[in-house]
Structure 1
Amino acid sequence: MKVRILLTAVLALSLSACKKSFIELVPKTVVTEATFFKTANDYTQAVVGSYAPLRSIYGDAYVMGEMRSDNATYFASPGLQGGQFSDKWNISGFLDIAINMNGLNKYANCYVGIARTNAILDRIDQSTIDPAVKANLKGQAQFLRSFYYFELVQYFGGVPLHLKEVNSVAEASLPRSSAADVYKQIIADATSAAGLLPAKQTTIGMVTKGSAKTLLGYVYMTLKRYPEAEAALKDVTTLGYSLVPDYANIFANRNTVESIFEIQYLAGPQGQQNNFAFQFAPNISNVKNILGVSGDNKTTGGWNKPTPDLIAAYETGDTRKAASIAFSYVDGDGNTVNDTYCKKYTHGPYATFNNCGDDWIVYRYADVLLLLAECLNEEGKPGEAIPYLNQVRARAGLLPTTAASQVDLRAAVAKERRVELAFENHRWLDLVRTGQAISVMTAFGVKIKQQEPYLPASAYTNITASRFIFPIPQSEIDINHQLTQNPGY
């Protein structure tokens, strides 16, 4: 924000010596505030631009969402050095500090998205574009702003609450708002978005009423406001979503009937690609026999590695296991290696090394069904919860649950969410939301250090309530002296 302001000031000074007639001209080849935000197409382009930071955020979201949990760890190699590796290791082992590029990536890009949505929301009500188009675009901007803030408050706690476009240095630096105030704004934006957005979009990938209702369901569940969560999640079940019969096909195809909110990627040179398949593939010198294209993956792969604990959580006959985890691979020399890696996002062969176009699903219908089952059970209605749980189990080839009491069903739903949503960045937040983070991760830390001798003795020894959220990036505190650090960092 400050960079943009400074550049504007330099331009103003450089133009002050020019003729008045020149200053008043609007360059015809440059988009400016004087020429933009006029037409429906202008606002559509701005909304599309507000989605773009999601690709950066989710490029490494697995580090804080899965590797922080008992689902995933990493392959350690003595040859790997530098912050891009140690930052991930430290988050996984609860050794992270305020200087961490993964935390900074999430924090900074959320605010990029917020700044873009603020620019839209500051202007769109006064625009003269078609009312129906305006409502749709406004709803998308509100959803995105609420989603970015939900990411921030879950991972960092209370953060500065920017709700207007920044036009001065003073406006760029705000103190932290309370988490309660951030949640209040999230609910306001998501509620408005749900009322404005259609059930289906003509442009694939744009968020819908179902996206907003699912976001609200998650927010209310996080706040333990179960009746409101139930209403929002039950609304989603009326909007035409359904389970894809074959679990593996959810991820092998894009924007299926199960997808509620999906981040769109595109392979190629346009800068819209990802490299999930390569990050999660084994750490080997040539991945051609795994991903179809030659390339040294020793500085790219080995992340989000399934833990023995996760593997043991799958029941016999669960079709999700083979769709999510590979148990062997053929290396570059043609040798079969018995080892595991996350295969859920591998849909090659790929044309270019480290360049994929597979989407990332943020919300899907099975997620909603399980969250609704959790909600109903917490309301003391396990009988109503069980059918939603069993829908998901049936698709996985499993028999109905035998859990009947509230306590047993709570454990059954938590386990089902773990295996159904494995590697989808839900596990850490689920543990925190349900109050299991300390007990589960403490026990897991003892086991994983016995199984993986490369882990330092200090790993998993600082699992306390202060670690439920991450540190505010130090670089942000350095430029905004009104920011304070989270306790424990």
Structure 2
Amino acid sequence: MKKSIIKSILFLTIASLLGACGESFLEEEPKGFLGESNLQNEEGINAALVGAYALLDGMNIDGANTWSANPQNWIFGSVPSDDAYKGSEQTDFAEMTQLEIYQWSAGNSIMNDKWVSSYEGVVRANSTIRLLGGADLPDAVRDNLEGQTRFLRAYYHFELYKVWGNVPYFTEADEDFVKSNEGVDPLGDAIADMTAAVNLLPATQDDAGRATKDAARAMLGKFYMYKYGESGSAADASSAKDNLDPVVASRSLTPCFKDMFHTSTENNPAMIFSVQSSINDGGNSRNANWLNQLAFPAGSSFGCCGFHQPSQDLVNAYKVDANGLPMFDNYNDSELDPSTDAVDPRIDLTIGRDNVPYWDWDIHDASWIRDRAFSGPYSPKKFTHYKADPVSTGGWNNNAYNGINFSIIRLADAMLLLAEAEVILGNLSAAEDLVNAIRERAGNCAQGPFVDGGGATVITDDINDPGIEWANYDVQPYPAGTFASNGSEFAMNAVRWERRLELALEGHRFFDLRRWGIAAEVLNKYTEYAAKTRSYYADAATYEARHRWYPIPTIQINANTRNGEQILKQNTGW
């Protein structure tokens, strides 16, 4: 599948066809009209399927800047956690600040974009399955197309579930689209769809970016770990392990952490399933990671925009003790002092810090931040391309567009989910091995010295290179037997900490805290800490039981009525 995605025109044709009125006088097809029978073949169904894939990047059919539909989920999954501030300036997107400090409301104007984009993906998946129902195809072709489509349908519903929980699950059989969300089990329905996808999909695909059996297994394992968060049943952790084990066993981590976040090394085996991005493909940069452009530094050559700024809490989390291990209990006792504190090298492959090279762009400094008093001194870095990379020729913010793929699930994510399952099931040694493999990879590379006019950006041979003057890098594996000797509580804490360090700013943190059942404990402590340096955190609401799910957008509540009765019910507390 080409990285340039088939967007609105193709799917508008299909959508108009599938939603056509049933009256006989409207059934006569005008000349040039693409009828359903024309699409019920492999080529037509595949075109519809590509339309379903197109929504992975969050760009909806109208082409608007639907920021909260970004698959990175930094607005819903990172900013409301202890990993990041909304950033930029206080007056920019105050609606995001409201999410950040738990002043949530159903009328928040940015929340609806995620809902609309995700359900548009569901609509396209269901339209593809309906076309499949009337097509005469070889079994292997049919299974592959259906497997990919059910994978996507499960994924889009899972994205809705993570945010709102109580959402209706739509299939190709639904004719009434005003559907109740009471007594629903969207996660269970997604598990059923993804299970079917595992059984239908091939091990490999000819085109990069298409779902495979391993991608479905990995996602199914993730679904079961979320289900464990609801049920607390070891059976769900066991099901997660059953699906994650073969994926993890058949793949290897890339040599360097940075390999996950550059176009030259993307689509490697450790990127299990990714949103495919590209530039200069005739799409005016709409096929680039358009919805992530806000999360670029405001200074240097970028110009815009300075959102999604890493928190001081996240920066402090990268401190290590004298043994190169995390400081779970006292990492926040003081702010990171670069002159004295040793740090995990992933800090400077994830976060832009003053006096540290920012890839090959320049040395990060105070001018890169729009309002330090409001949002702190740090910039996001993980998904920023190199200055030497090709420049986008389309769009209004060229230097912020790039073709870096975003992983829906990557190997380290799957390994840490498996490590969680192993701890739950009492296999502490297996969990320790998984965490240590990730920590050992973390020690393989680091941000290198900046060379004016170009030069080394990542050092892959010695993280203690004498040219690194801004940090003392150190990261070590846990000594053999550490998990077993310290028990399950310690082991789970170590796994969770590793998820934070490895997956920082990828939109996982808030959802992880909620499924672990520790969101109130962690986030209320965090807001108290953040208020010491970020004055607007004095207005943070207490994280309460009602924050388990975001409020369903008012516009959707009002739209889903029948005979004056609201069929779509608001989540508890909103």
Q: TM-score, normalised by structure 2?
A: 0.74
Q: Which has the higher helix share?
A: 1
Q: Which position in structure 2 is the counterpart of 1:467?
A: 547
2:83 is aligned to 71
**Shift, 1:102, TM fit:** 3.5
Q: 1:390 to 1:39 in 2, by over 3 A?
A: same
1:160 maps to which residue? 168
Q: Is the partner of 1:485 in helix, strand or coil?
A: coil
Q: Note if contact 2:197-2:213 (Cα within 8 Å) is conserved in structure 1.
A: yes
In the other structure, the counterpart of 1:273 is: 288
Question: Per-residue CA shift, 1:84-123, capped at 9, x if unaligned?
Answer: x012111111112112343211111111111111112234
Q: Counterpart amino acid of 1:227?
A: S
Contact 1:155/1:469, CA 8 A, preserved across alignment: yes
For residue 229 of structure 1, the aligned residue among 230, 237, 240 is: 240
Q: Distance in 2 between matches of 1:219 and 1:6?
A: 31
Deviation, 1:283, is 3.4
The 3-state SS of whatever aligns with 1:362 is strand
Measured in 1, the distance between the counterparts of 2:187 and 2:415 equals 23
Is 2:382 the counterpart of 1:374? no
Secondary structure, counterpart of 2:172 in structure 1: coil
Contact 2:296 2:400 in 1 (8 A): no
Q: How many residues align?
A: 456
Matches within 5 A, 1:251-400: 251-253=261-263, 254-268=266-280, 269-270=282-283, 271-275=286-290, 278-284=293-299, 287-288=300-301, 291=302, 296-297=303-304, 301-314=305-318, 315=320, 316-328=342-354, 336-337=365-366, 339-349=377-387, 350-351=391-392, 352-397=398-443, 398-400=475-477
- Give CA deviations for 1:357-382 in whole Å, capped at 9, x if unaligned: 22111100111111111111011221
State the alpha-carbon separation in 1 of the partners of residues 18 and 253 from structure 2.
51
Is 1:32 aligned to residue 117 of structure 2? no
Match in the other structure for 1:242: 252
For the Cα contact (< 8 Å) 1:362–1:424, is it kept in 2?
Answer: no
Q: Give 1:32 shift.
A: 3.2
Question: Which of 74, 91, 96 is the aligned partner of 1:62?
Answer: 74
- Is the contact between residue 247 and residue 319 of structure 1 (CA under 8 Å) also seen in structure 2? no
Q: Does the 8 Å CA contact 1:61/1:106 hold for their aligned counterparts?
A: no
Contact 2:72–2:506 (CA<8 Å) still a contact in 1? no
- Shift in alpha-carbon separation, 1:143–1:25, aligned structure 2, 3 A: closer
Structure 2 vs 1, CA of residues 366 and 334 (structure 1 numbering), >3 Å: closer, same or farther?
A: closer
Q: For residues 116 and 336 of structure 1, what CA distance do their matches in structure 2 show?
A: 45
Aligned residue type for 2:277? Y
CA contact under 8 A between 2:274 and 2:407: conserved in structure 1? Answer: yes
- Is residue 351–residue 378 contact of structure 2 (8 Å, CA) maintained in 1? yes
Consecutive unaligned residues in structure 1, runs of 5 or more = 17-22
Pairwise mapping of residues 189-200 of structure 1 onto structure 2 (< 5 A)?
189-200=193-204
State which drifts further: 478-487 or 269-278: 269-278
- Tell me, yes or no, if the aligned pair for 2:78 and 2:509 is still in contact at 8 Å: yes
Structure 1: distance between partners of 2:166 and 2:365: 49
Q: Aligned pair in 2 of structure 1 residues 119, 25: CA closer, same or farther (>3 Å)?
A: closer
Structure 1 residue 111 corresponds to structure 2 residue 119 = yes
Shift of 1:74: 2.6
Label 1:108 to 1:165 Cα distance change in 2 as closer, same or farther (>3 A). Answer: farther
Give the whole-Å Cα distance in 1 for the aligned partners of 2:72 and 2:477.
Answer: 35
Give 3-state SS (helix, strand or coil) of 2:38's partner: coil
Contact 1:60–1:102 (Cα < 8 Å) also in 2: no
Contact 1:390–1:400 under 8 Å retained in 2: yes
What displacement does 1:178 show? 2.9
* Matched residue type, 1:274: N
Q: C-alpha distance in 2, partners of 1:365/1:6?
A: 38
- Contact 1:149/1:182 (<8 A) preserved: yes
Distance 1:67 1:334, change over 3 A: closer
Per-residue displacement from partner, 1:171-207 (whole Å, max 9, x unpaired)?
121111434x222211111011001112221100011
Q: Residues 389 and 336 (structure 1 numbering): CA distance in 2 closer, same or farther, change over 3 Å?
A: closer
Cα distance change of structure 1 residues 354 and 245 upon mapping to structure 2, 3 Å threshold: closer
Distance in 2, matches of 1:416 and 1:428, equals 15
1:447 to 529, 537, 543: 529
| Pair 1:101–1:129, CA change in 2 (3 A) | farther
Equivalent position amino acid for 2:433 in 1: P
Q: 1:419 aligns with which of 475, 497, 501?
A: 501
Any conservation in 2 of the 1:276–1:356 contact (CA below 8 Å)?
no
Are 1:277 and 1:356, in contact at CA under 8 Å, matched by a contact in 2?
A: no
- Aligned mates of 2:409, 2:362 — CA distance in 1: 39
Q: What SS does the corresponding residue of 1:242 show, helix, strand or coil?
A: coil
- Aligned equivalents of 2:362, 2:131: Cα separation in 1: 59
Q: CA deviation at 1:70?
A: 0.4
2:36 aligned partner, one-letter code: E
The aligned amino acid for 1:308 is Q
Deviation at 1:125, TM superposition (A): 4.1
Q: Describe the shift of the 1:6–1:204 C-alpha distance in structure 2 as closer, same or farther (beyond 3 A).
A: closer
User: Once the two structures are aligned, what percentage of the paired residues are identical?
Assistant: 29
Q: For 2:538, what is the secondary structure of its paired residue?
A: coil
Give the CA deviation at 1:7: 8.7
- Does the Cα contact within 8 Å between 1:277 and 1:343 map onto a contact in 2? no
1:486 to 2:494 alignment: no
User: C-alpha displacement at 1:347, in angstroms?
Assistant: 0.6
Q: CA–CA distance in 1 between the matches of 2:118 and 2:256?
A: 34
Task: Provide the rounded CA distance (Å) in 1 between the counterparts of 2:72 and 2:105.
Answer: 17
In the other structure, the counterpart of 2:517 is 435
Q: Give RMSD over aligned pairs.
A: 2.7
Structure 1 residue corresponding to 2:216, chosen from 190, 212, 231: 212
Describe the SS at the equivalent of 1:304.
strand
Which residue of structure 2 lines up, in the alignment, with residue 143 of structure 1? 151
What's the counterpart of residue 20 of structure 1? none
Aligned to 1:19: none
Distance in 2 separating the partners of 1:119 and 1:410: 42
SS in 2 for 1:44: helix
8 Å CA contact retained: 1:373, 1:413: yes
Q: Paired residue for 1:172?
A: 177
- Residues in 1 aligned to 2:287 and 2:364: alpha-carbon distance in whole angstroms: 34
Query: CA separation in 2, counterparts of 1:488 and 1:321?
Result: 38
Distance apart, 1:5 and its partner CA: 10
